[in-house]
Amino acid sequence: MKKSDFTILVADDDPDYLFQTVNNLGRAGYKTVAVESQAEAESVILKMKPSLAIFDLMMENDDSGFILCYKIKKKYPDVPVILATAVAHETGISFSLDSEAEKSWIRADRYLEKGIRPEQLDMEIMKLLKI
């Protein structure tokens, strides 16, 4: 399969970050669906199964990304999820997916701090999609 066969759902309430991420993913060859809120992402998840999802952690709620991870994994357990956030930078609180306990409640496949380089994000996506 080639990158253009995959559709990535990107949910982030920061319009600049959302534009930049969607633009970078498009240049890398992926199709994207971009939404600016948890509510919009939930609506998309009801209507379609993305190949992969990238969720911001804090949108309408401080835990929007966690809620979206839970909801998408419940409906589509095989869809890889990347949780991208600046929460550690903004609050000093950090998360990881290093332990099984953290993986069991976070429900994301990767946790990335915002500021990730486009080529690094592409490498993570290719690993998760097994391209």
pLDDT tens per residue across span 85-116: 875 444 445 555 455 545 444 568 888 888 88
pLDDT at 73 over 50: yes
Burial class (CB in 10 A: 0-12, 13-18, 19+), 128: middle
> Would the pTM count as exceeding 0.75?
yes
Alpha-carbon gap, residue 40 to 34, rounded angstroms: 9
DSSP symbol at 3: G
Mean pLDDT score, 55-82: 92
- The answer to whether domain 3-129 has CATH 3.40.50.2300 is yes
CB-CB contact of 54 with 82 (8 Å): yes
